[in-house]
Amino acid sequence: MPCGPRPGKDWTPHPCGPPFGWPLFWTFLRPQLLALSAAVVLALGAALLNVRIPVLLGQLVDVVARCARGHVATYLREVRRPALRLLAVYCLQVSADPPNGARVAKATVVADEALGNVRTVRAFAMEEQQAGLFRAEVDRAGRLSEQLGLGIAAFQGLSNLALNGIVLGTIFVGGSLMAGDQLSPGDLMSFLVASQTVQRSLASISILMGQVVRGLSAGARVLELLRLEPLVPLQGGATIPAHSLLGHISFNHVSFSYPTRPGYPVLQDFSLTLPPCQTVAIVGPSGGGKSTVAALLERFYEPTAGTITLDGHDIAGRDPSWLRGQVIGFISQEPVLFGTTIMENIRFGKPGASDAEVYEAARLADADGFIRSFPEGYNTVVGERGTALSGGQKQRIAIARALLKDPAVLILDEATSALDAQAELAVQAAEETLRAPQGREG
Ligand SMILES: Nc1ncnc2c1ncn2[C@@H]1O[C@H](COP(=O)(O)OP(=O)(O)OP(=O)(O)O)[C@@H](O)[C@H]1O
């Protein structure tokens, strides 16, 4: 995998964007020089043929015009030569139509995955293997593109041949008719112009066909996704007014299997009561179903049997967007941050929050100190998926985000696993402060 110049210690981004790397571009271009030269020669040949056609057509029209002025006897002999030449040029034109460009949609997925997980790829020294996968996908996309290009070229070439044949036939037969006074030169000209217009339209259809084929394959994927109906609708259902919400949660004989693994029960006849204003810890073996309990409470999935109630109401009848947006705060094992500033990442918990509220939430999550130590402070951009932060820093920002939301029920799914004991204690103290009349599950 070729690499560009490494940013050194005093590297600063170029103010007008990076300069075009011609030497690197050349390393990619060099292996393709032969194909590129062939394409250029073909394109030049096609252009020459296109220039030659009007000249030959002019010669043909000259013969027809002369015959119209009365030189009837020599018409067939004279017209044959330019007509045959024109036919030969039309035939050459069929074989000179260049193929279409590359289709690389699937290859992009491989590249995206490899680049998104670049640290893992590096850690396992899998660069060559990943580059090979990408190369294979690009080659496959290239072959498909060539097939598509050949189809379009054949269609375009054959339709050109047929239509130019019509023009040639019109001149040939029209000349004979003019010689016999059965057709006026004006009528012949009108017919020629009309057939040229039809030819141009049909030529654009062949280009359009290529776009239609590409559009259909891309559209099929989009429509497939649009047709997907979420098992749990995003909105709709009753809510509980904020003033009467206590946060009493109860799992009643819940059984559950993930839809992708229907034969593998994760929870079976599971019952649990979470009283309000209390911190409850669920402890169990890895893969025992602890995160699944949180996912069911968030209504990411529906139980296959049993019910989950909030203050005595089955959550299956409650509005999922209200439940997730206002009742439950969830901090997952792997905190997800967005590629924007720390300020915006924390504010995601409560979009209308003031700067002071954000600072307070960060302070409670023991994040304010390290955030202010960055040169850009709260305006530090965390990188794609928070790559510019340590695991513990990411967790503290995710905790600050959830604390800012101040939900009735806060779920921490091993949310402090990357924190040291002291930071974990600080976060727990913050949760205790916030707990007041609300229930929390940890
Ligand atoms: N999306 C999914 N599709 C299918 N099976 C899943 C899915 N998510 C989890 N599972 C399976 O469900 C079981 C319970 O997983 P869960 O994540 O709830 O465990 P956990 O107790 O939180 O584990 P850990 O302590 O390791 O995080 C596991 O066997 C897991 O393989």
As for ligand 1, residues whose beta carbon falls within 6 Å of it are: 258, 260-261, 266, 284, 286-292, 333
Residue range 141-196, pLDDT digits in tens: 788 777 877 877 777 777 777 777 777 787 778 877 877 778 777 787 777 777 77
Rounded to the nearest 10 degrees, the angle between the axes of helix 75-95 and helix 127-179 is 170
For the chain, domain boundaries: 33-227, 240-442
- Would strands 313-314 and 265-274 be described as parallel, antiparallel, or unpaired? unpaired
DSSP string over 10-55: T----TT-PPP-HHHHHHHHGGGHHHHHHHHHHHHHHHHHHHHHHH
Residue range 383-433, pLDDT digits in tens: 766 667 888 888 889 889 888 888 888 888 876 666 666 666 666 666 666
Say how far apart CA 357 and CA 347 lie, in whole Å: 9
Residue range 243-260, pLDDT digits in tens: 878 888 999 999 999 988
Do residues 365 and 412 make contact, with C-beta atoms less than 8 angstroms apart? Answer: no
Residue 381 phi, psi (nearest 5): -85, 130
Distance 287 CA to ligand 1 centre (A): 5
Tell whether the torsion through CA atoms of 198, 203, 206 and 208 is positive or negative.
Answer: negative
Distance 124 CA to ligand 1 centre (A): 25
Say how far apart CA 78 and CA 56 lie, in whole Å: 13
Closest to 337 measured CA to CA, from 346, 350, 328:
346
Rounded to the nearest 10 degrees, the angle between the axes of helix 355-364 and helix 391-405 is 120
Q: So what's the pLDDT on residue 390?
A: 83
**Residue 351 Cα distances to 147, 178, 276, 383, angstroms:** 50, 81, 26, 20
Has residue 359 got a pLDDT over 90? yes
Residue range 288-319, pLDDT digits in tens: 888 899 889 988 899 999 999 988 889 888 88
Nearest CA to ligand 1 atom 10: 258
Say how far apart CA 184 and CA 206 lie, in whole Å: 34
The alpha-helical segments, DSSP class H, found in 249-354 are 290-297, 320-322, 342-347
- Would strands 313-314 and 440-441 be described as parallel, antiparallel, or unpaired? unpaired
Say how far apart CA 148 and CA 151 lie, in whole Å: 5
Task: Point out the ligand 1 atom lying closest to the alpha carbon of residue 288.
Answer: 21
Beta bridge partners of 238: 318
Element (H, E) at 402: helix 391-405
Q: Which two tokens stand for residue 81?
A: 């030569």
Q: Measured at the alpha carbon of residue 319, what is the angle toward residues 250 and 226, in degrees to the nearest 5?
A: 125
Say how far apart CA 179 and CA 77 lie, in whole Å: 14
Nearest CA to ligand 1 atom 28: 287
At 14, the pLDDT band (50, 70, 90 cuts) reads: low
Closest to 299 measured CA to CA, from 232, 229, 253:
232
Say how far apart CA 63 and CA 61 lie, in whole Å: 5
Do residues 250 and 308 make contact, with C-beta atoms less than 8 angstroms apart? Answer: yes
Q: What's domain 240-442's superfamily in CATH?
A: P-loop containing nucleotide triphosphate hydrolases (3.40.50.300)
List for the chain the helix, strand, coil content (%; round to 5). 60, 10, 30
Residue 308 phi, psi (nearest 5): -120, 125
Residue 404 phi, psi (nearest 5): -65, -35
ipTM of the complex: 0.95
Residue type, 268: Q
- b/e code 289-323 from CB counts within 10 Å (16+ = b): bbbbbbbbbbbebebbebebbbbeeebeebbbebb
Q: Where are the beta strands (DSSP E) in 312-420?
A: 313-314, 328-331, 409-412
Contacts of 262 (CB under 8 A, 6+ apart): none
Residue range 26-50, pLDDT digits in tens: 888 888 888 888 888 887 887 787 7
Q: Given ligand 1 and candidates 291, 414, 416, which is best to mutate, with the most ligand atoms within 8 Å of its CB?
A: 291
Nearest CA to ligand 1 atom 24: 286
- b/e code 230-263 from CB counts within 10 Å (16+ = b): eeeeeeeeeebeeeebbbbbbbbebebbeeeeee
Q: Given ligand 1 and candidates 231, 251, 258, 272, which is best to mutate, with the most ligand atoms within 8 Å of its CB?
A: 258
- HSE toward the beta carbon, residue 262, CA cutoff 13 A: 2
Highest mean pLDDT among 48-52, 282-286, 433-437: 282-286
